[in-house]
Structure 1
Amino acid sequence: MDHIFIPGDKLKKPLLLLHGTGGDENSLVDIGKLIANDAPILSLCGDVSENGANRFFKRFSDGRLDLLDLAIRTKKLLQTTYELAETYEIDFQDLVVVGYSNGANIAANAILQEEDGFQNAILLHAMPANNKPQDFSLEKRHVFLTAGVNDPLVPFSSTKALVDLFQDRAAEVQTVFTEAGHNLTREEIEDAKLWYENLGVEA
């Protein structure tokens, strides 16, 4: 996976950035810096191409998610992140994954489906994959989730279903809903910054 690493203050929890469809490893860097200025940043580029647009996993032509591919690439994402965390001397357990749209979807799937998945996540405009649920506890997972109630790509009912999936398994979830569509707003980024700061910046 193509990636960039931006060194930062080792006392701050590092960010893992996962872009939306059509983005790359540079797409969320400015957002990451707004959320956690001076934190170390690891940003990945999805290695699936959909008509030239980068994604983290495949979907079918009718828009349905390819759940088999999602499962395979979720494991690959975690393995890649473990390896890069070791390379750059950052603690995987301290990572705060920041995902937008497609990137948020695979991050959410990693938390819900993999017991060794991410511990902390900022999920911007995510939706559930509707795959077979797991039953391990998410008691020590921390999730900040945002959505636009007028999002044409992520129905608000899907957002609420994703929140329920986390809360039903005891994850700590904070939500911010705006009147926006699929675009990111200053409000949700500022709230994500506050959430990150309250999560505790001491690694």
Structure 2
Amino acid sequence: MAGMSEMAHRFLRGADPAGSPLLLLHGTGGTEHDLLALARDLGPAMSSLAVRGTVEIEGGFAFFCRHSNRTIDEADITERLEALAGFLNSCRDHHGFAAPVAVGFSNGAIMAAALLLMRPGLLRGAILFRPLSPLSRELPTTMQATPVLIIDGANDSRRSRGDGLRLAQTLIRAGADVTHHVLDTGHAITSEDVAIARAWLTRTVPEAISERAS
């Protein structure tokens, strides 16, 4: 199991330290700082656990490797997923918080989807901005109505048309409660993304919007 010191991260305590935090998983070339402002917009009362990917790339970091043809290295993502899951369990033991809600963007959204499919029950839910399926095969997973929000960009040059829909269908077959939106935008997160995600999170985690503890 990965110890807390084995992955660079930031933990910001919210109004209820025992509640569900937001698990922030950045995009390719990013760092653990990238989604902190987004977390304040989405769930101002929730704790935030922002994790840095372990692959150095493009002047920053990623959560898994790709092959030279840009397909996902499935052996690599599986191995790194286990390390991330172990790290998350160590953090839960140390801080005493409940199962987190993942907020993933791009590369981080793919890793969050992998956690949902390969470690069911680890997450309370997930918000996935611009994801795609992490695996080429479908796993016999049972997710017991885990709530998931997927938001795609119709003009996303870094995704193929239907990537998000295929992931949504896979998650639905596994038992997840999936909400799927396709926005008239590209790869970057927009104000419309934030509004949709905040409304979804407020319904899913009602305690998310009370005042953040000092």
TM-score range, shorter chain: over 0.9
In 1, Cα distance between equivalents of 2:13 and 2:124:
21
Cα distance, 1:70 vs structure 2: 0.5
User: What letter is aligned with 1:17?
Assistant: L
1:32 paired to 2:39: yes
SS of 2:31's partner is coil
Contact 1:149 1:155 in 2 (8 A): no
In 1, Cα distance between equivalents of 2:197 and 2:69:
32
Cα distance, 1:192 vs structure 2: 0.6
SS of 2:206's partner is coil
1:113 paired to 2:111: no
| TM-score of the aligned structures, taking structure 1 as reference length | 0.93
| TM-score of the aligned structures, taking structure 2 as reference length | 0.89
Unaligned ranges ≥5, structure 1: none
Cα deviation code 1:123-171 (max 9, x no counterpart): 0110002333211322231101101011011123111111110111221
Cα distance, 1:202 vs structure 2: 4.4
- Tell me which moved more, 115-124 or 177-186: 115-124
Cα distance, 1:39 vs structure 2: 1.2
In 2, Cα distance between equivalents of 1:51 and 1:124:
20
User: What letter is aligned with 1:42?
Assistant: L
Report the equivalent of 1:181. Answer: 186
Report the equivalent of 2:107. Answer: 102
In 2, Cα distance between equivalents of 1:27 and 1:78:
21
1:168 paired to 2:173: yes
User: What letter is aligned with 2:103?
Assistant: V
In 1, Cα distance between equivalents of 2:193 and 2:48:
20
RMSD: 1.6
Equivalenced residue count is 201
1:148 paired to 2:163: no
Contact 1:97 1:120 in 2 (8 A): yes
SS of 2:138's partner is coil
Distance 1:43 1:113, change over 3 A: same
- Tell me which moved more, 121-130 or 8-17: 8-17
1:80 paired to 2:114: no
1:5 paired to 2:11: yes
Cα distance, 1:51 vs structure 2: 4.5
Contact 2:101 2:126 in 1 (8 A): yes
Contact 1:127 1:158 in 2 (8 A): yes
